[in-house]
Each structure stands twice: as structure tokens, then as C-alpha cells.
Amino acid sequence: MTYQEAEAFLFEQLPMFQRVGGSAYKKDLHNTLALLESLGNPQKKGKYIHVAGTNGKGSTASFLASVLKESGYKTALYTSPHLKSFTERMRINGVPITEKEVIEYVEKFKPIIAELRPSFFELTTAMAFDYFAKQEVDIAVIEVGMGGRLDCTNVIKPELSIITQIGLDHQQFLGNTLEEITAEKAGIIKENISIITSVRENELKLIIKEVAESKNAPFIDSKEHYKISVIKESIPSRHFQAKNLLNNKIIEFESGLSATYQMQNLASTFTAIDVLNEKGYKINPKHIQNGLKEVIQNSGIKGRWQRIHNAVSKAKMIADTGHNITAFEYITKMLEHEPHEHLHFVFATVNDKKLEGVLALLPKNAHYYFTQANIPRALDANELKNTAKDFGLKGNAYPTVSQAIEKAQKNASDKDLIFIGGSTFAVAEIPNL
């Protein structure tokens, strides 16, 4: 079996939520636990940090993994979805699992796949726990796939848990209100294990706090521990300051993820570092500074306000994987502060998402290039164009992401800005991402 055949088997034989949607979602942990049992329960052998949330969980997980690596710990990182290669999902000290190891896992799992018919995420989560255990990592940072309570990753007893920002997403599975979604995310809270949150809304924080109190889990609001502020604008990174609100100590640092929306994720990161140090980890300010500066290299994270090389003109190109209302509240503000004459907006989405809230936020004065990613779950570009017209958004439809980008590059002048977003899978199709 070649790697391409192994990857195709995973994508085509197993229901994958990101590609096909709801048919891949499992509402219990039965298959995950059965898969892990067949592997000797590797999830019980490691130390973990568990990160849930609607927005910010991937960035927060990557910040922590990078800082832990710089602190000398053999650090694993499990994230989803991947953008270019399946191997991106599992990394140790920034290095992805090898194609050879993926092939070996697929061949090993084939008999149990036939028996259990697991989802793509159930299988890959079991694979990750087994891989990290065999590699004897010191600690693994685990990003929740969806929700929390019934997520495949929710089979661990972590060193600490984190819930980042909450927004309306995946309502058909997690609930129609922010309160219902928050309750699902709070399902990762474990007995006596600290829970850190950067949730802004008091009513949502109260839900998390009540669950924490019921499990004797220390509740920590990161905004009460750290204030993050920008001290110097620079491209492509940005210089920040973290002020500890408990002792007034200040750390200045440069972040490889430069978007201002990262400030709340950085507050959670600094708070988590304090908790880890209290538990006996040895993470000093230099480790923190190096880890935050080198986060992209150390974690492989992509698509977070990422500047893309434009080989056609001098027009700036920026991509972001944010795809729900909460994300676009930040994205639209950042677009306003990014100097440009005209905005060219390459936009795609999926067919099972409520669009109205996002479309209402998008700038009316941009020229849109409506498109679709090459996945079954993609919303047809022409349907997207017609729906967007009702919100005053004007542009043309393009059958592929690459065609939409090429047209935007052709139309944009040197002082213009090209933004690519709306769908993680559209961003994934950007050449040379």
C-alpha cells in the first residue's frame, strides 16, 4: 500500500464529517473506546492538555505545544482538520507523523474497521493516542474535534482543560443556543482538574463555572489573570505584552500568529503556563518568548490571518480559516484596519451551515469571488452567489478555488487586498499555502 492509497482509504472508506457532514457524526464514545481497548488503552499512558471551544482552540493548542517544546519537553500535538496532508494532524515537536507510519496504522486497523465501521475521526483519534504513547511523549496537547462531552478525545484525564471562545457553529449537533453549546463544551471538565476559559459572556462563564464546581475543578478566567496588549506593529509578526494581573509582572514577546484576535488565546496560554508551573513543569520566560515567536514552525499551524505570497502582483493576500459568526466579527474588523484601496473577497462555505449571520457581517463594498472547495459538503458557488445577493454582496461565481484566486489576482491592483476565507477547505486549496 502506498501513502496515497492509505490516505484515500481513510477519506473514502470512513465517514469524515469535514467532507460529508452529519452522517459521520457519532453521538457516543462506544467506537472510540472499543478501538482504544484493542490497542491496549494508550490514552491512559500519557499526560495531556485538553482544549475545546468554537474559535481559538487550534491556535491555543499550538501556542502551548510550541512553548512546551521550547521548554525541553517532548511534546505531541493533535489537531483537526488538516489543510494539505493527513500527517499534519499528529505532530511531535512539530514533526508530523511519517507517511510510512500512517500506512502501517491503516493496514493494522483494517480488520477492526470492518468490524466496527468507525468514523474517520474515531479512527484517527485512536491512532493519535497510540502513536503518542509509543513515542513516549512527555505531554500531548489535544484539540477537541467538535463539542466536548461526546467528542472522541474526551477519554483522557488531562493535566488541565481549556475552553476558548464560544460561538454558534454545528448547532444541529451541539444545540441551537450559545448556552446549549457551552454546556456541551463543558463536558470536557474532569474531577479536580483545573479548567481555564477565555469565554467573554458572563452567562456562558457561569455555565462553565457551575459544571466546574460540581466536579471540584478549579475554575480560572484567563481575563482575570492576564491582559494582553499590542506594543509594536510589524509584518508578518506582531509584538505583544502580557501583564500578569495578580503580580503585575510583564513579559514582552513576538507572536508568529499576529492577528489581534489571538490576544484572548494568548491570555489562555499564559494562564495555562502558570498552572503547569504550579504542577511542577519548568517553563521560564525565555521558553515562552521562543515558543510564541516560533509557533508556526513548531506546530505547523496554517491559515490564521496568514499572508500568502502573490506571484502575480503586489496586492496583499491574506487567508483565514475562520468560518462562523464569531470568527467573522473579528475578521471584518481586521479587514477594516488592513490598509488597502479595494477589497477582493474570495469566499466559500459548506452546505449545512446557517449563512445569514455571516453574510450580514461581510463588507458590502468588496468585490466577491464566490467559489466552492472540492469536497461533497461544499455549497455550490452559484447558490452561494444568489444567497449573498440578498445581503448586498456582489460578485461572480467560480467553480474552483484556484480559478477564483486567479481572477482576483488578475483584477487586483498593487494597492488592493485579496482575502480568502469562509471555509477551512477553501483555504486548504490555496497553492503553496
CATH number of the structural domain spanning residue 194: 3.40.1190.10
Let me know if residue 64 belongs to a domain. yes
In the chain, the amino acid numbered 257 is L
What does the block give as the cell for 181? 453549546
pLDDT of residue 100: 97
CA distances from 173 to 67, 178, 411 (A): 33, 13, 40
Pairing of strands 160-163, 195-197: parallel
Final residue of a domain: which of 264, 299, 334?
A: 299
- Residues spanned by the domain of 378: 306-428
* CATH (domain of 405): 3.90.190.20
Distance from C-alpha of 102 to C-alpha of 91, rounded to nearest angstrom: 12
Give the cell for residue 176.
441551537
The sheet that has 250-255: what strands, in order across it?
226-233, 238-244, 250-255
| Residue 138 within any structural domain of the chain | yes
Is residue 236 located within the same domain as residue 329? no
Q: Are residues 287 and 362 in the same domain?
A: no
DSSP string, 311-337: SS-S-EEEEE---SHHHHHHHHHHHHH
223 and 364, same domain (yes or no): no
Residue 432 is given by DSSP the state T
**Cell output for 164:** 476558548
How many angstroms separate the CA atoms of 169 and 177, rounded?
A: 10
368: cell is 466577491
Q: Where are the beta strands (DSSP E) in 332-390?
A: 343-347, 367-370
Domain count, the chain: 2
Residue 433 is assigned to a structural domain of this protein: no
The pLDDT of residue 23 is: 46
DSSP letter assigned to residue 150 = T
Element spanning 73, H or E: none
CA distances from 53 to 274, 275, 310, 339 (A): 20, 19, 33, 31
Which amino acid makes up residue 300?
Answer: G
Residues 397, 285, single domain; the answer is no
Are 50 and 119 contained in the same domain?
A: yes
Please say which residue of 269, 299, 329 terminates a domain: 299
- Return d(Cα 264, Cα 199) in angstroms, integer: 9
- Cα 69 to Cα 155: distance, rounded to the nearest angstrom: 24
The cell for 49 is: 492538555
Do 271 and 318 lie in a common domain? no
User: Would residue 100 count as lying in a domain?
Assistant: yes
Question: Directed axis angle between helix 262-278 and helix 57-70, to 10°?
Answer: 50
**390: its cell numbers:** 440578498
- Confirm if 337 and 367 have CB atoms less than 8 A apart: no
Sole residue written with cell 479595494: 342
Domain shared by 348 and 211, yes or no? no
- Among 299, 324, 352, residue at a domain's last position: 299
Q: Is residue 326 part of a domain?
A: yes
323 in the same domain as 290:
no
**Are 339 and 198 part of one and the same domain?**
no
Task: State whether 291 and 176 are in the same domain.
Answer: yes
Regarding whether 321 and 181 lie in a shared domain, the answer is: no
Q: What is the pTM of this model?
A: 0.92
Q: Are 265 and 396 members of one domain?
A: no
How long, in residues, is the chain?
433
Q: How many Å from the N-terminal Cα to the C-terminal Cα in the chain?
A: 28
How far apart are the C-alpha atoms of 25 and 35, rounded to whole Å? 16
pLDDT block averages, 10 residues each, the chain of length 433: 90 58 60 92 96 93 98 97 93 97 93 85 94 98 89 95 82 70 94 96 94 97 96 76 96 92 95 98 98 96 93 94 90 92 96 88 97 92 96 97 97 97 94 86
Structural domain includes residue 54: yes
**Angstrom distance (rounded) from CA 290 to CA 296:** 11
Q: How far apart are CA 315 and CA 327, in angstroms?
A: 24
